[in-house]
């Protein structure tokens, strides 16, 4: 059999017999002549033929051998890349038939119910907009990786089965079979591991990290899991972190999204106070023209207060008795000038936190970290940690006794940044298999019940909610 060629290569193969493989994207029956649009990963090409094409249905997978021909000028189709040619079918083999699809895939798809798109996500991804978003996402991640590797960063994978790493959300917990009554937590971020890697002397770490947070979905946040570019550096100032991040995304936008333009460079930096006074929010949308889909307004917000008053929702911190909750997370360093205020007036202490804002969305956050055991201990006290809770983080306090470099980092959200750059209405539009707003996974029916035997092995019992718990 002749070698398969891609649809886009037909342009270079005029007057040659080629073999193409792909899906029947569209079909037009003109009686004696049938036209189909054949789609593969590289695009679409028109196939023309008679009886050989008669029985084909939309989305059948076929193998077509035929002669590539120039189209006369008046029949060219400028809307597709291969519009100057067509393929005269000689032999067609159906590799598999398709049923009628549950929804059209030749539109952008926003009009279709999201639950149905999600149930048949493998069809939804055939939609050119979705396929394009996933390809761009892959390019963005590769770009980030190359940029950081060139600058002496080390990519490290950290565990998914781990202990609680609070980032202000509820944990997902996983029961242990081997240790009865004990649980792992899925990481809300690799925060503690990346700090431990600084103690370990790597100095420059990054990871395209999956994070798990059991929080209510919003359009700029997926339910359950999301991906962030997690990075950490030793012996740096806050300015070093901001500068590196700014250079990375400025270059990335220029190279991968040349049609986009930035409202302002260098990106403006505001103190938390300033930005609240001026815009009434800590994530201002600074675009000059909010209807301009090509405009990207990045900015920084810094000088946050280290603590906020603790509210009832801060149940995951401390004993619930303390007055203070970290505004970022409990590893953020206080501004060195404000350390004396930790005892006197904690709410006045500034934290070395930085938030990255794009078109009104918070797309990343980070900080310089505490690297002194005593200061970390004091912050644990202020957020009301009990002795027991402190014990959960003893490994950090212990690590900090063995020579720890000053360090800090940031974690820009990959889904969120891509959503904002592409002007998509939700992060789910840039994720392959997102969990729906109601917590249902794409395609696969999770969460689902498990076999009684599995529960038994895990030493778990499900208590019916209408029965009284003992
Ligand atoms: N761990 C933080 C987060 O997920 C980011 C950081 O402080 O680097 O938001």
Best residue among 158, 166, 189, 371 to mutate for probing ligand 1, ranked by most atoms within 8 Å of CB = 189
Tell whether 90 and 158 lie within a shared domain: no
Tell me, yes or no, whether 466 lies in a domain.
no
Tell whether 413 and 264 lie within a shared domain: yes
- Considering the chain, what percentage of its residues have pLDDT values greater than 90? 84
Task: Supply the CATH number for residue 212's domain.
Answer: 3.30.930.10
Task: Work out which ligand 1 atom sits closest to the CA atom of 228.
Answer: 4
Write out pLDDT tens, residues 348-395. 999 999 999 999 999 999 999 999 999 999 999 998 888 888 888 999
Tell whether 138 and 60 lie within a shared domain: no
Tell me, yes or no, whether 85 lies in a domain.
yes
Tell whether 47 and 139 lie within a shared domain: no
pLDDT at 219: 65
For β-strands 173-175 and 154-155, DSSP reports them as unpaired
- The answer on pLDDT for 199 being more than 90 is yes
Tell whether 172 and 208 lie within a shared domain: yes
Phi, psi of 222 (to 5 degrees): -85, 155
**How far is the centre of ligand 1, averaged over its atoms, from the C-alpha of 288 (Å)?**
29
Best residue among 169, 188, 204, 328 to mutate for probing ligand 1, ranked by most atoms within 8 Å of CB = 328
CB of 355 sitting under 6 A from ligand 1: no
Average pLDDT, the chain: 93
* Token pair for 351: 């934290």
Q: How far apart are CA 268 and CA 454, in angstroms?
A: 54
- The answer on pLDDT for 467 being more than 60 is no
- The answer on pLDDT for 163 being more than 60 is yes
CB of 310 sitting under 6 A from ligand 1: no
Start-to-end C-alpha separation, the chain? 70
Q: How far apart are CA 23 and CA 375, in angstroms?
A: 62
Tell whether 11 and 86 lie within a shared domain: yes
pTM (global) more than 0.85:
yes
Tell me, yes or no, whether 444 lies in a domain.
no
- The answer on pLDDT for 90 being more than 50 is yes
Residue 470's pLDDT band (cuts 50, 70, 90): very low
Tell whether 236 and 360 lie within a shared domain: yes
Tell me, yes or no, whether 358 lies in a domain.
yes
Tell whether 158 and 24 lie within a shared domain: no
Tell me, yes or no, whether 2 lies in a domain.
no
Tell me, yes or no, whether 243 lies in a domain.
yes
CB of 191 sitting under 6 A from ligand 1: yes
Tell whether 231 and 91 lie within a shared domain: no
Task: Supply the CATH number for residue 70's domain.
Answer: 2.40.50.140
Per DSSP, the three-state class of 199 is helix
Q: Which residues pair with 295 in a beta bridge?
A: 261
Tell me, yes or no, whether 312 lies in a domain.
no
Task: Work out which ligand 1 atom sits closest to the CA atom of 353.
Answer: 7
Write out pLDDT tens, residues 30-87. 999 999 999 999 999 999 999 999 999 999 999 999 999 999 999 999 999 999 999 9
| 240: containing domain | 119-304+351-371+406-430
Q: What average pLDDT does this structure show over 217-233?
A: 86
Tell whether 17 and 157 lie within a shared domain: no
Phi, psi of 63 (to 5 degrees): -115, 125
Best residue among 195, 227, 230 to mutate for probing ligand 1, ranked by most atoms within 8 Å of CB = 230
Tell whether 256 and 216 lie within a shared domain: yes
Contact (Cβ atoms closer than 8 angstroms) between residue 56 and residue 36: yes
Number of domains in the chain: 2
Tell whether 170 and 250 lie within a shared domain: yes
The residue that leads in pLDDT, 327 or 334, is 334
Residue 310's pLDDT band (cuts 50, 70, 90): confident
Q: What average pLDDT does this structure show over 166-187?
A: 92
């Amino acid at each position: 059999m002749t070698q398969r060629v891609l649809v886009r290569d037909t342009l270079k193969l005029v007057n040659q017999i080629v073999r193409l493989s792909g899906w029947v994207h569209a079909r037009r029956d003109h009686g004696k002549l049938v036209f189909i649009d054949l789609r593969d990963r590289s695009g679409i090409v028109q196939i023309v033929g008679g009886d050989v094409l008669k029985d084909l249905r939309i989305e059948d997978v076929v193998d077509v051998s035929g002669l590539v021909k120039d189209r006369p000028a008046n029949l060219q189709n400028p809307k597709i890349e291969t519009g100057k040619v067509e393929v005269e079918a000689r032999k067609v083999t159906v590799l598999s038939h398709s049923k009628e699809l549950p929804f059209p895939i030749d539109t952008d798809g926003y009009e279709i119910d999201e639950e149905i798109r999600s149930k048949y996500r493998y069809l939804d991804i055939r939609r050119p907009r979705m396929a394009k978003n996933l390809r761009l996402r892959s390019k963005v991640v590769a770009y980030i990786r190359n940029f950081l590797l060139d600058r002496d960063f080390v990519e490290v994978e950290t565990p998914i089965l781990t202990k609680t790493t609070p980032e202000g959300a509820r944990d997902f917990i996983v029961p242990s079979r081997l240790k009865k009554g004990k649980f792992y937590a899925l990481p809300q971020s690799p925060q503690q591991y990346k700090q431990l890697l600084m103690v370990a002397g790597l100095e420059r770490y990054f990871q395209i990290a999956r994070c798990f947070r059991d929080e209510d979905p919003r359009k700029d946040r997926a339910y359950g899991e999301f991906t962030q570019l997690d990075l950490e550096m030793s012996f740096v100032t806050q300015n070093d972190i901001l500068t590196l991040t700014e250079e990375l995304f400025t270059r990335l936008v220029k190279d991968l999204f040349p049609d986009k333009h930035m409202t302002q460079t260098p990106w403006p930096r505001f103190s938390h106070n300033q930005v609240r006074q001026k815009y009434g929010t800590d994530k201002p949308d600074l675009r000059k023209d909010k209807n301009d889909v090509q405009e990207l307004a990045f900015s920084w917000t810094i000088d946050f207060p280290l603590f906020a008053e603790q509210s009832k929702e801060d149940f995951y911190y401390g004993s619930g008795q303390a007055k203070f909750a970290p505004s970022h997370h409990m590893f953020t360093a206080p501004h060195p000038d404000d350390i004396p205020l930790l005892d006197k007036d904690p709410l006045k202490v500034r934290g070395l936190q930085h938030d990255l804002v794009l078109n009104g969305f918070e797309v990343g956050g980070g900080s310089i970290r505490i690297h002194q055991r005593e200061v970390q201990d004091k912050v644990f006290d202020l957020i009301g940690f009990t002795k027991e809770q402190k014990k959960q983080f003893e490994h950090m306090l212990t690590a900090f006794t063995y020579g720890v470099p000053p360090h800090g980092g940031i974690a820009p959200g990959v889904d969120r940044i891509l959503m904002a750059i592409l002007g998509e209405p939700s992060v789910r539009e840039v994720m392959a298999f997102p969990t729906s707003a109601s917590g249902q996974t794409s395609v696969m029916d999770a969460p689902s019940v498990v076999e009684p035997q599995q529960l038994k092995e895990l030493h778990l019992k499900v208590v019916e909610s209408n029965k009284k718990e003992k």
